[in-house]
A and B are shown apart, each in its own frame.
Chain A
Amino acid sequence: MNEISHLERFTEQEYKYGFVTDIEADEIPKGLSEDVIRLLSAKKAEPEWMLEYRLKAYRAWLKMEEPKWANVHYPPIDYQEIVYYSAPKQKKKLASLDEVDPELLKTFNKLGVPLEEQKVFAGVAVDAVFDSVSVATTFKAKLGELGIIFIPISEAIKEHPDLVKKYLSSVVPVTDNYFAALNSAVFSDGSFIYIPKGVRCPMELSTYFRINAKNTGQFERTLIIADEGAYVSYLEGCTAPMRDENQLHAAVVELVALDNARIKYSTVQNWYAGNKEGVGGIYNFVTKRGICKGINSKISWTQVETGSAITWKYPSCILQGENSVGEFYSVAVTNNYQQADTGTKMIHLGKNTRSTIVSKGISAGKSNNSYRGLVRIGKKAEGARNFSQCDSLLLGDRCGAHTFPYLEVLNPSAIVEHEATTSKIGEDKIFYLNQRGLSTEDAVNMIVNGYCKEVFKELPMEFAVEAQKLLSVSLEGSVG
């Protein structure tokens, strides 16, 4: 109801997460080689099998080529100029939040991510990843009582090697793509979640990713497993300081849903997008994929993408179990010189599998926004159904919107529907709202929020509000 009052406060600001935390970091020298990977693995005191996994990935990566098919343009990345491991210096393993460097706690408070458990708003457990490592995970004990594992993946490698070995790379193979291979070689941390059979996770689980150090890449790895009949809702937020150099973020996220399990994965991505002239910003090259392994399982991706200089990301679902369901709800906003090539893949393998795609692209400034989606209905996917809706909204006349839908239907019983629209934000709508007493800025926010409503309603409440605010900041100054 009070969209505007929320938005009003935020329309005046620029990127407010652009500060740098002054904290001593433990970094390894820039560049990538087998030695660097050994060093990284040693620093994390990893078991031998993990080092082998990384080296294998690295050797595969060396033979691969950076993909060029996306509708994005950027100068070649020098992978030897990147620092692959940076961690805030901490003397020892932390026993509790009290031991976290106050400077770090301050940073996350400033970002609106309070880590002190008593202050965390009801029902959200947070894992905070700062540069390369996880600095704090809240509500560990409470979740532990239910058998839920929510820990940094670096700990999971040591404490739950069987689960990690079984599922890591089971959805996104090491050699799936160039950036996935790179991530497999050098990933430093991320979240690991396991929800045991029949457990409904009582709170939202959330990870907050923060890139702080200069010239650092962030390569997080997330693995979520929902065992039979389990349910979990997971949220991911990201920010970075404003820097003139581009920084690489190449994450891999894998979701596994067994029989009757449900995973809801929500992202509010607000990496630094670069300045108005297009200098700086994050390259967000991410592989996200979930598998509905079991019958009646369901995976929902909801993403609000407002940040990053370049976004290259296709959260996907492999619908293997009979009657399994995949959903993708996306709002992707680009302004100034931002580029986004994003969408989803729905791979229907099992009988009566269903998928829904709702994509809302918003382009402003001189930005370029592409939807790229694949719906594949396999031979055995009897009775599969897909519904796709891809809408593009243009603000101004120097931006671009593109839609690349790919369809592969190998089973004649499938029903696939695709709807697409492109519209400009109409002067007549703005005038109508002006005439009702709303400023042009408020009018645009209201129209855009209405346009995104189908996606926002999929987000948990607090994040829907956050997403609306973000949207207004991202589009600030794009009309008028």
Chain B
Amino acid sequence: MFRYVVRRTLESVLLMLGVLVLVFFMVRLTGDPVSLIIPMDAPMAQREAFREMMGLNEPLIVQFGSYMLDAMQGDLGTSLRRRGEANLDIIMVRLPATMQLAFAALAFAVLVAVPLGLAGGMRPGSAIDRVARSVGLAGQTIPSFWLGMLLIVLFAVTLGWLPSFGRDGFSSLILPAVALGFAGMGQLVRLTRSAVLDVRRADYVRTARAKGMQGARVSFRHVLPNVAIPIVSVLGIQFTYLLGGSVYIEVVFAWPGLGSLLESAIRDADFPLVQAITIFISLFAISIHLLTDLLYGVLDPRLRRS
């Protein structure tokens, strides 16, 4: 177990360093950042002053070195539009809103998908199974941001039950969480259903039934614990996906999180901030993956040895 933890942690640290390198060159290789930010017709002196201020006069390798050193000390640069404000501070202010939305979306997905997939998988071909399969398919075919707009039209504009934008209490969380969690819910239903289909043919389930154990007890005592392992293993991936998907949903619902911050940073051509958000979200995602992998190792001892 110890070696497994050390190996996975080292892998994650390497990936994080890789992300820092990749993001730096992704932004630099595409041309002169100055021309992306300062208008082409701006006076030469202004362009040069900006170049000087951003440290873009230094050789690339020097820029890269100081960028890496800063990043490893938790310094992700300063925003262009909000002079002097550290990118990390701006991100930290927005982070709780995104976390709240992502966790709510994940909770919605799990609470709907797991019971539905379990019920459908235990009785293949039944009415509840048809519902489960339809929900699974709908998750693959309905774009989240479009669903978000439909929910606004129905529940906010037409019925007037829930607010259509902003972050103001629980009622404002419902629509964005449903829209964001919908695709993941579809995937989880399919996964749970097919895991149940596999498990219910297993010897220990057949034995339980042969002993006369009834439906619900079999589900909770024997099927669910074994289905939990594949579900936990995709939750980390799901969460990463939600972080990305939140960009669209936060824009639709004007949710004041990291996603809408990224969108406005792009609109303002605030490149240092775009770079910082990308790095932050990626490092965050890598950490989540590491945590779920370690948790997975605890749940399933077979994995530690491989």
A binds B: no
A residues neighboring B (CB under 8 Å): none
B residues neighboring A (CB under 8 Å): none
